[in-house]
């Protein structure tokens, strides 16, 4: 007989030999023991985790004559025929090559007849998601109410492609990826059975490359057994599988974090000399930084499915750097890998990315910066809370003397704030300097009212010209049409308690000039600018002689030419638009 690869040779023949699918195995065994077997079972999961294997074991267990605790005996006639593939009552169909409605019709005809030698007929459809929509529809009625002697077993890697009408008629079992520990133990046992000694580090590489798939790992293990002798080392696995040495990954990761460009570039050169695929190399490097971040987060180390030896190295490296620093360097590496994908010089791009990561300084959290700033400015609120102006005035020279001895930033800020606080208080007392004669009593109360009434609204008032766009938005939330008319203003000016609104055309402000609208607009102005301004609309027919913008100004002439009927007719006829308008002497 020809050689059987490990993936076929070590295929489980009962539930106890299945690797890493304990919940699913327990449920299936209990259903057999309690005689609660569903007539349609769907196994889903990634490649090589045991979907077809579980379907075959389930078929043997259903028809087994001497089963114990739900496990098939593998000795009776039914188990032997299913194991050798000669059973007439087991139909194993490939959904990719038998996907049409005609094949499903033939299958429905076959399952009408009773089984020949076993108790039940078992239908296994692998890659069932490849069936056509018509084939699924033809299977619906049979799947909902199958004959008593028929069981369906489906296996798929793409559960989302199966119609919901099929899913609702099946009992679903989702198989997960096999853990690294389970794969390590399984591969080590197979190596011992084959009489091959393999290093733990070499076995860890095979486990990592299998990515939770038992079949992928067995294929790699079979390849390594064919290459090596009785003792398999790490170098053998690296050379056979074309991998990047873990020591190189650790060296580059440490160099990027410790700002060592020489080590990083030399390790990269060594990686290139091996002929390693850049995409694979950068993927391993990104996973390395992800591992470091998870090592820094409490409670997330359970997410790391790596060997204990590598976990110890990552923990030691993560303890020497902050979480923010590692995260920043990971972001830079991700950006560099993305640029490398579209670069004509991928190696140069990767080297440049390494230098960017190394030259990036340590990240200081914003919270720490704010704490330091608060510690410097913690005394700034005290001067503002002192209400007595005379006391504050007397303390100014003393504070200046004390602050001249200290050069801290917080003291300088304190001095600036004290000056701003004491400035308005100096204008409140009636006698300015003690040397001058006191002013008459009639004039002394006059300045304080103005000084008291004016400064209060100033912090809330806004500048008309600067905040005019904001005022239009304020009006737009309340009156859309009014905001549109206000956008046509050419110039806005505040003059002696009046708000001058200049329009190019009387029609642009016709609605605004109505009495009710003027009242409403005045209320909007008072609410927004906190000023009681009187509105004045200025149009070309109301321009006064003292107005700086006369009718013959260049701006007025350009606007008049743009609105000329002949110009408008020409733009409409030729489907054009007005470009430059020149009214100077050289244009004549």
Give pLDDT tens digits for 296-313.
888 887 788 787 888 888
Range 340-344 average pLDDT: 89
The whole-number pLDDT of residue 339 equals 92
Whether the pLDDT of residue 134 is over 70: the answer is yes
The number of C-alpha atoms within 13 Å of 109 and in the hemisphere containing its C-beta is 6
Confidence of residue 352 (pLDDT cuts 50, 70, 90): very high
The whole-number pLDDT of residue 378 equals 77
**Which H or E element spans position 172?**
strand 171-174
* Residue partners of 379: CB distance under 8 A and separation at least 6: 410, 414
Q: Are 232 and 196 in contact (CB under 8 A)?
A: yes
The whole-number pLDDT of residue 430 equals 44
d(CA 59, CA 121): 9
The whole-number pLDDT of residue 373 equals 83
Whether the pLDDT of residue 386 is over 70: the answer is no
Query: Mind listing the pLDDT tens digit for each residue in 85-124?
Result: 889 999 999 988 888 999 999 999 989 899 988 899 999 9
Q: Closest Cα to residue 537, out of 517, 552, 556, 554?
A: 517
Whether the pLDDT of residue 41 is over 80: the answer is yes
Whether the pLDDT of residue 390 is over 90: the answer is no
pLDDT > 70 fraction of the chain, expressed in percent and rounded: 81
Range 58-63 average pLDDT: 93
Query: Measured at the alpha carbon of residue 48, what is the angle toward residues 43 and 51, in degrees to the nearest 5?
Result: 20
d(CA 333, CA 283): 10
Whether the pLDDT of residue 45 is over 90: the answer is yes
Confidence of residue 395 (pLDDT cuts 50, 70, 90): very low
The whole-number pLDDT of residue 349 equals 92
Output 281 or 556, whichever has higher pLDDT. Answer: 281
Confidence of residue 361 (pLDDT cuts 50, 70, 90): low
d(CA 62, CA 72): 8
Average of per-residue pLDDT values in the chain: 80
pLDDT > 90 fraction of the chain, expressed in percent and rounded: 33
Query: Mind listing the pLDDT tens digit for each residue in 443-479?
Result: 444 444 444 344 444 556 688 888 888 888 889 888 8
Query: Measured at the alpha carbon of residue 304, what is the angle toward residues 299 and 309, in degrees to the nearest 5?
Result: 115
Query: Mind listing the pLDDT tens digit for each residue in 191-249?
Result: 998 888 998 888 988 998 888 899 999 999 999 988 877 888 888 888 888 787 888 89
The whole-number pLDDT of residue 445 equals 44
The whole-number pLDDT of residue 126 equals 93
Output 321 or 576, whichever has higher pLDDT. Answer: 321
Contacts 24+ apart (CB under 8 A), 379-384: 379/410, 379/414, 380/410, 380/413, 380/414, 380/417, 383/414, 383/417, 383/418, 383/421, 384/417, 384/421
Q: Map out the domains of the chain with their CATH numbers.
A: 6-176 (3.40.50.300), 179-243 (1.10.8.60), 247-363 (1.20.272.10), 371-425 (no CATH), 460-540 (3.30.300.180), 552-588 (no CATH)
Mode of pairing for the β-strands spanning 40-44 and 150-156:
parallel
Query: Mind listing the pLDDT tens digit for each residue in 536-565?
Result: 888 876 654 444 444 456 666 777 777 777
Range 265-282 average pLDDT: 85
- The DSSP result for 516-539, as a single string, is HHHHHHHHHHHHHH----EEEEE-
The whole-number pLDDT of residue 380 equals 56
Range 329-357 average pLDDT: 91
Whether the pLDDT of residue 427 is over 60: the answer is no
Confidence of residue 276 (pLDDT cuts 50, 70, 90): confident
Q: Closest Cα to residue 144, out of 128, 165, 160, 126?
A: 165
What does pTM read for this prediction?
A: 0.57
Range 72-88 average pLDDT: 90
- Flag the least confident range among 88-92, 177-181, 528-532, 539-543: 539-543
Region of residue 299 (phi > 0: left; psi between -120 and 50: alpha; otherwise: beta): left
Q: In angstroms, what CA-CA distances link 434 with 426, 429, 431, 488?
A: 13, 11, 7, 57
- For 198-235, letters b (16+ CB in 10 Å) and e give beeebbbbbbbebebbbbbbbbbbbbbbeebeeebebe
The whole-number pLDDT of residue 484 equals 85
Whether the pLDDT of residue 409 is over 80: the answer is no
Whether the pLDDT of residue 52 is over 60: the answer is yes
């Amino acid at each position: 007989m020809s050689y059987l690869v490990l993936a076929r040779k070590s295929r489980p023949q009962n539930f106890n030999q299945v690797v890493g699918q304990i919940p699913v195995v327990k449920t299936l065994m209990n259903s057999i023991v309690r005689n609660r077997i569903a007539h349609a079972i769907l196994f889903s999961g990634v490649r090589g985790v045991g979907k077809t294997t579980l379907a075959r074991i389930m078929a043997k267990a259903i028809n087994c004559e001497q089963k114990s605790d739900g496990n098939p005996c593998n000795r009776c006639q039914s188990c032997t025929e299913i194991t050798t593939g000669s059973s007439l009552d087991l139909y194993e169909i490939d959904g990719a090559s038998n996907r049409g409605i005609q094949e499903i019709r033939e299958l429905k005809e076959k399952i009408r007849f009773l089984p020949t030698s076993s108790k039940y007929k078992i239908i296994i459809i692998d890659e069932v998601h490849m069936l056509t929509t018509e084939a699924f529809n033809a299977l619906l009625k049979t799947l909902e109410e199958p004959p008593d002697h028929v069981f369906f077993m489906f296996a798929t890697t793409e559960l989302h492609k199966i119609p919901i009408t099929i899913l609702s008629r099946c009992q679903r079992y989702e198989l997960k990826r096999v853990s690294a520990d389970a794969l390590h133990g399984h591969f080590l046992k197979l190596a011992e059975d084959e009489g091959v000694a393999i290093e733990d580090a070499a076995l860890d590489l095979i486990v990592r490359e299998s990515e939770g798939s038992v079949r992928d790992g067995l294929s790699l293990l079979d390849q390594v057994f064919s290459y090596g002798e009785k003792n398999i080392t790490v170098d053998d696995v690296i050379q056979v599988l074309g991998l990047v040495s873990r020591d190189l990954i650790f060296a580059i990761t440490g160099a990027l974090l410790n700002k060592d460009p020489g080590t990083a570039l030399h390790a990269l050169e060594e990686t290139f000399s091996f002929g390693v695929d850049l995409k694979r190399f950068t993927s391993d490097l990104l996973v390395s930084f992800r591992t470091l971040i998870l090592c820094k987060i409490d409670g997330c180390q359970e997410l790391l499915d790596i060997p204990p030896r590598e976990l110890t190295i990552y923990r030691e490296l993560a303890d020497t750097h902050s979480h923010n620093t590692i995260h920043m360097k990971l972001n830079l590496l991700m950006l560099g890998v993305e640029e490398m994908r579209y670069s004509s010089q991928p190696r140069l791009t990767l080297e440049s990315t390494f230098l960017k990561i190394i030259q990036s300084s340590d990240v200081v959290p914003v919270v720490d910066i704010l704490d330091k700033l608060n510690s410097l400015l913690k005394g700034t609120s005290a001067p503002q809370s002192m209400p007595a102006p005379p006391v504050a005035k007397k303390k100014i020279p003393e504070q200046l003397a004390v602050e001249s001895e200290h050069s801290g930033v917080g003291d300088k800020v304190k001095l600036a704030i004290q000056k701003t606080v004491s400035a308005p208080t100096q204008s409140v007392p009636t006698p300015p300097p003690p040397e001058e004669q006191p002013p008459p009593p009639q004039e002394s109360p006059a300045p304080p009212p103005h000084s008291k009434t004016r400064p209060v609204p100033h912090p809330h008032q806004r500048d008309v010209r600067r905040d005019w766009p904001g005022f239009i938005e304020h009006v737009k939330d309340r009156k859309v049409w009014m905001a549109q008319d206000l956008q046509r203003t050419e110039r806005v000016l505040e003059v002696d308690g009046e708000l001058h609104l200049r329009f190019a055309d009387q029609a642009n402000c016709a609605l605004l000039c109505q009495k009710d609208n003027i009242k409403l607009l005045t209320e909007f102005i008072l609410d927004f600018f906190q000023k009681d301004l009187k509105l004045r609309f200025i149009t070309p027919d109301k321009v006064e002689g003292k107005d700086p913008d006369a009718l013959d100004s260049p701006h007025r002439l350009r606007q008049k030419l743009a609105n000329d009927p002949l110009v408008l007719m020409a733009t409409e006829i030729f489907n054009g638009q007005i470009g430059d308008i020149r009214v100077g002497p050289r244009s004549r």
